[in-house]
Amino acid sequence: MKQVPELQDFIAGFAQANRQAVCGLSARRASRVSDLMVMSTPDTVASRSEASDIGAACHLVKQLCTSSEANEFSMLPANRHLRWLRGRIAIKTAVQVGFRGHIARPLSAVDIDVYRDEHGAPHVRVDGVSQAVFVSLTHKDNLSIAFMSAQRAVGLDYETVKPRSAAFLKLAFTPAELQLLEHIAPPERLAWYTRLWCAKEAVSKSLGTGLKGRPKSWVTTQIDGERLLCHNQWVTTQQTASGILAWTYRTSVS
């Protein structure tokens, strides 16, 4: 986890780079909200509660969550509690920061209701308004990263780069996808497997379905620098020392 600061820097820089993003929210909302990413770590939880154990999580849920979120939390197995909470803190922080200065009063955490649809995709209700912004969430080890956009549905994925077995490659990628990577030297190819995998996850999240256990239905057909055309949708990937971050904006309706 010592390489996480580089990822954190990238995520902070992403908000800066997107400061000018323009959006049209509901008439009751401000017109300019930056797209941004927020990372939540055990320290994030600890900084809000002086601890990061399960007891602290229950306490924080009472402080930060709506009653329906608290209900969702109570239905989870205990080993999912901290991950769930980190994810909700990341989403709520992204929405709070995004709206800061654009509406009359700062949003508190309980003004933002994060709920999941029947497919598991996260959505937010801000001050009672559904889908005022779009969000996507990814967890890896003890990190959770949220991506918020006021423009359109988004998908985010983060994975560490690691050796992949032949069985995984066969299950995950089509022969044409593997051929796309053939010209890349083996040491760098490992990271590219992860880019392609993250692209599949990000696109499937932006469409609200997830992979549905069929990773080969989400096919990369073109690579342009660090961008991948996956399932006819461009995905941007960023390699940091700790892994690959991939994000996309939904462009199709299916």
Ligand X SMILES: CC(C)(COP(=O)(O)OP(=O)(O)OC[C@H]1O[C@@H](n2cnc3c(N)ncnc32)[C@H](O)[C@@H]1OP(=O)(O)O)[C@@H](O)C(=O)NCCC(=O)NCCS
Q: Residue numbers of the site for ligand X (CB under 6 A)?
A: 84, 87, 116, 119-122, 137-139, 157, 171-172, 201, 204-205, 208-211, 213, 215
- Smallest distance from the beta carbon of 180 to ligand X, in angstroms? 18
- Smallest distance from the beta carbon of 22 to ligand X, in angstroms? 25
- Smallest distance from the beta carbon of 208 to ligand X, in angstroms? 5
CA–CA distance, 169 with 181 (Å, rounded to integer)? 12
For tokens 């002086």, name the residue: 50
Our CB check for ligand X shows the closer of 96 and 204 to be 204
- Smallest distance from the beta carbon of 230 to ligand X, in angstroms? 13
Our CB check for ligand X shows the closer of 14 and 158 to be 158
- Smallest distance from the beta carbon of 197 to ligand X, in angstroms? 8
Separate counts of helices (H) and strands (E) for the chain: 8, 11
Cβ-Cβ contacts under 8 Å for 205 (sequence gap 6 or more): 121, 136, 154, 155, 156, 157
* 3-state class (DSSP) for residue 19: coil
**Burial group, residue 138, by CB count within 10 angstroms (0-12, 13-18, 19+):** buried
Our CB check for ligand X shows the closer of 121 and 161 to be 121
* 3-state class (DSSP) for residue 79: helix
In the bound state, the residue with its beta carbon closest to ligand X is 120
Beta bridge partners of 115: 123
Our CB check for ligand X shows the closer of 138 and 194 to be 138
- Smallest distance from the beta carbon of 67 to ligand X, in angstroms? 18
Our CB check for ligand X shows the closer of 108 and 217 to be 217
CA–CA distance, 214 with 216 (Å, rounded to integer)? 5
Our CB check for ligand X shows the closer of 89 and 223 to be 89
- Smallest distance from the beta carbon of 191 to ligand X, in angstroms? 17
Our CB check for ligand X shows the closer of 29 and 145 to be 145
**Burial group, residue 71, by CB count within 10 angstroms (0-12, 13-18, 19+):** exposed
The sign one gets for the Cα dihedral 151, 201, 116, 55 is negative
Q: 148, 104 in Cβ contact below 8 A?
A: no
Residue 26 has φ and ψ, to the nearest 5°, of -65, 160
